[in-house]
Structure 1
Amino acid sequence: MSDREFVLTLSCPDSRGIVAAVASLLTAYKCNIEESQQFGDHYTGRFFMRVQFVAEDPAVDEDTLRGALAPVATEHRMEWNLWRRDVRTRVLVMVSKYGHCLNDLLYRQRSGLLNADITAVVSNHPDLEFLADSYGVDFHHLPVTPETKKEQESRLLELVQSYNVDLVVLARYMQVLSEDLCQKLAGRVINIHHSFLPSFKGARPYHQAHARGVKLIGATAHYVTADLDEGPIIEQEVVRVDHTFSPEQLTAVGRDLESVALARAVNWHAEHRILLNGSKTVVFR
């Protein structure tokens, strides 16, 4: 992957000529489109687009493209971003005591299956320091109590800044982020939640599911907002179960689903495939 490869993402009021305008501009600057996806939402009246392309003219760089795109964006009232594909997303993972999602992400990174770089792990418990150490990733123990929550989140923001973090991943981090922190990191925090939201909130979700005799269990990856577990959904995984499953078996299956759904969400965010559409997402897979 080179500094000549780019991803353009945009959303704007839906109207005629948007695709043609973008394609014509890229053609004029000798860019070869490798992948293009678009979606018009009839319910919101907005248009969404992701274009992956290569700038084949050495004289055309990122600044040139940004300057050329700006008038088109203004004309169509676009919210847009241009990304260089060789610049990898930097991730900070937060975790408490359950290590399955963290272990899965670290393994995927080492195996080349995660299109992002995990720069650090933060936890309110010391239990999983050994896991981060085994992968050579910095570990920071930031304990938190109701009295120290503001100070702990200030330290977290310092780490986000010092590691130049693009995305924070809550890999079964069992603390609620404050409204202030959610606003400061809006669109940059992904959480994994057991079940299809908002079912089985609180402690021991798989025991709750067992008690209710569920036939399907799942996991939901979503962006974090100040409304607990109600942020825009990115990905969901599900599997059918039956009366023979014990709470422990449901927990084991559920943890696999959580790991898969979270990894997909992180990869799609890192590849700039997710666009926010109000309280929903558009995911160009």
Structure 2
Amino acid sequence: MKSATATLLISCADSPGLVAKFANFIYANGGNIIHADQHTDFSTGLFLNRLEWQLEGFNLPREAIATAFGAIAKPLEAKWQLHFSDTIPRMAIWVTKQDHCLLDLLWRWQAGELNAEIPLIISNHTSLKAIAERFQIDFYHVPITKENKVEQEELELELLSKYDIKLVILAKYMQILSPNLIANFPNIINIHHSFLPAFPGAKPYHRAHARGVKIIGATAHYVTEVLDEGPIIEQQVVHVSHRDTIADFIRKGKDLERLVLSHAVRLHLENRVLSYDNRTVVFN
């Protein structure tokens, strides 16, 4: 069993000596760095850094790490996050009627590929309730119409709070979330069945087929108030041809959706994604 690690994700204005400054914080406290990566965005002058180190032998107790690093980060006006590998986040999956992404996530979770707890599935239909029961996960049917959207989203937020959820996955949840819900729970990953920014919104496979494209794709991204324009975490594509029907596009696309979504979720759970300026750096 691997020993517990701590991970810092840091972003700040670029300046000389930042790599040494952050690494020395760990070295000076007896830490052993097992992963270090950084990127400088010269268009914005932003420095982005991921540091992961073993907690075994580290001189600072974990409850003191944030305060100690904060003293270094404050003069730099840095934004930063601290995560511990043995803190298991609780994740909720939201679905409608399609089961392929849900099943893929649950299979990977059951196989130990996703370091999370999944105590909750929410759906605006009852079609997938049996899957939740099969995996012994609580299922809530929350039907949404234009008339009841405000009240039902309040119920969804209450459920997220009740179950202490830290991350929501929209696994083909065919509803547009309101700005109020996103403001109150911004930690949401969506899978879109298109290689964004091409064909955002509804029926992208139909529009791609009509346009005669030669590749189709899938995109996993963080949800923002602007539909399908949040920071992109992961994308993949597959070739199609004039011989492919819309049904072929959908079949091939579903394979991509499963892979792209599960990979994005794993990257997030491993604290490898740093968002900035509606973009991401992914530290693989």
TM over 0.5: yes
Task: Show CA shifts across 1:36-95 (max 9, x none).
Answer: 011111011111111110133365221222222111111221111111100122111111
- Give a deviation string over 1:187-227, Cα, whole Å, max 9, x none: x0111101122433444332322222221010011111111
Separation in structure 2 between the aligned mates of residue 200 and residue 23 of structure 1, nearest angstrom: 43
* 1:2-50 alpha-carbon deviations (Å, 9 max, x no partner): 7742111111111111111111111111110000011111011111111
For structure 2, list consecutive stretches of 5 or more residues without a partner in the other structure: none
Instruction: Please give the per-residue CA displacement for 1:141-162, whole angstroms capped at 9, x wherever unaligned.
Output: 0001111101111011111111
Q: Deviations over 1:212-261 (max 9, x none)?
A: 22210100111111111111111111001111212112111101101111
- Is the partner of 2:15 in helix, strand or coil? coil
Determine the structure 1 residue equivalent to 2:279.
280
Matched, 1:128 2:128: yes
Structure 2 residue identity aligned to 1:33: I
Tell me the equivalent position of 1:89. 89
Quick one: which amino acid aligns to residue 184 of structure 1? N
2:176 alignment counterpart:
176
Partner of 1:267: 266
TM-score normalized by the length of structure 1: 0.95
Q: Is the 8 A contact 1:90 1:164 kept in 2?
A: yes
1:244/1:182 Cα in 2 relative to 1: closer, same or farther (>3 Å)? Answer: same
- Look up the match of 2:147: 147
Q: 1:122 offset after TM fit, Å?
A: 0.3
Q: Secondary structure at the match of 1:259?
A: helix
| Paired position in structure 1 for 2:166 | 166
Give the corresponding residue for 2:233: 234
Change (3 A) 1:76 1:2: farther
TM-score normalised per structure 2: 0.96
1:202–1:27 CA distance, 2 compared to 1 (3 A): closer
SS in 2 for 1:242: coil
In structure 1, give the amino acid aligned to 2:39: F
Cα–Cα, structure 1 residues 229 and 23, in superposed 2: closer, same or farther, change >3 Å? Answer: same
Change (3 A) 1:48 1:146: same
What corresponds to 2:69 in structure 1?
69
Task: State how far apart, in whole Å, the 1-side matches of 2:2 and 2:59 are.
Answer: 15
Q: Tell me which amino acid in the other structure corresponds to 1:230.
A: E
The percentage of aligned residue pairs carrying the same residue is: 45
- Residues 2 and 85 in structure 1, CA contact (< 8 A), matched pair in contact too: no
Question: 1:2, 1:86 within 8 Å by CA — same for their partners in 2?
Answer: no
Letter in 2 for 1:53: W
Kindly indicate whether residue 277 of structure 2 is the aligned counterpart of residue 243 of structure 1.
no
What letter matches 2:189 in structure 1? I
Distance 1:218 1:22 in 2: 38
Is the 8 Å Cα contact of residues 121 and 139 (structure 1) preserved in structure 2? yes
**Further displaced range: 121-130 or 196-205:** 196-205
Question: SS in structure 2 opposite 1:250?
Answer: helix
When residues 154 and 261 of structure 1 are mapped into structure 2, their CA distance, relative to the original with a 3 A threshold, is same
Take 2:142 and 2:154, find their aligned partners in 1: how far apart are those partners?
A: 11
The amino acid that maps onto 1:278 is D
| Matching residue of 2:110 | 110
Letter of the aligned partner of 1:261 in structure 2? V
CA contact (8 A) 1:235 1:265 kept: yes
Shift in Å at residue 117 of structure 1? 2.1
Contact 1:3 1:84 in 2 (8 A): no
Aligned residues: 284
Residue by residue over 1:104-139, the C-alpha shift from the partner in whole angstroms, topping out at 9 and shown as x without a partner, is: 000100011122222211000000001111111111
- Tell me the amino acid that sits aligned with residue 68 of structure 1: A
